[in-house]
Amino acid sequence: KILADYSSNAIFQNPFYLILKGNEYIFQKKNYDDAIDFLRDAIKSDPIFAVSARYNLAYALIKKSSDKKTEAKSELEEALKTIDNILIPQQETMLISFRITQSHTSGTQDMMGATSNTDTKSDAEDQIMNRINLLCLCKNQIEQGKSAIEDAEDKKHDVRIEYKALDEFFSDINKPTLDINEFKENGFLGFFQLTQKEPTP
């Protein structure tokens, strides 16, 4: 059974190993069939936190064949649901909880005559805000991709795909490097842009 599990990737319960392998097969080896297998296994192992696997799976499907754009759209829709319903609310809850705790602590300090630092955002709060901003960027890119696929479907056109590295979305001024690196470690190396490919006359 262990050998069977190993050969089927079932032994790797953590989706991030599978996402890492999937991305390696997409971006380095350009082997989209194997990349698709790794990413599908990642989604099975953890449907919620393998959201980057769904996004990269959509990319791999389109790279393999423009005919798979409808299947890719389904993966983008599932990724969007996870971001909207789970990941962004999770970070927003953390932010609210942090601010309530911070406010309570500041109030206690004021009563004790201590100096309050409420005007200065903490590193933790900055990190949460950066994560929310990155998730919103991700959401925006997914919505654009989904819309481009729907337009192509309506007109029965193929799609052209271009990939843009995550760092390219930020200027060097106030760039949240640590949070970008964390996002990359979770599988989001960048985003793809889709445009309609006019049929050859």
Q: Is 30 left (phi over 0), alpha (psi -120 to 50) or beta?
A: left
pLDDT, tens digit (0-9, with 9 covering 90-100), for 125-169: 999 999 999 999 999 999 999 999 999 999 999 999 999 999 999
Q: What pLDDT was estimated at residue 109?
A: 59
Q: Please tell me the CATH code under which domain 2-107+125-197 is placed.
A: 1.25.40.10
Average pLDDT in the 32-45 region? 96
Q: What pLDDT was estimated at residue 6?
A: 44
Q: What pLDDT was estimated at residue 200?
A: 72
The more confident residue out of 16 and 32 is 32
Domain spans in the chain, listed from the N-terminal domain onward: 2-107+125-197
Q: What is the mean pLDDT of the chain?
A: 87
Q: Which residues contact 75 (CB under 8 A, 6 or more apart)?
A: 54, 55, 57, 58, 61
pLDDT, tens digit (0-9, with 9 covering 90-100), for 77-125: 999 999 999 999 999 999 998 888 877 666 555 555 554 454 446 788 9
Reading the block at residue 70, the tokens are 């409808």
With a cut of 60, say whether residue 19 has pLDDT above it: yes
- β strands within 56-189, DSSP E: 158-165
Reading the block at residue 49, the tokens are 């936190």
Distance CA 91, CA 172 (A): 25
Q: What pLDDT was estimated at residue 100?
A: 86
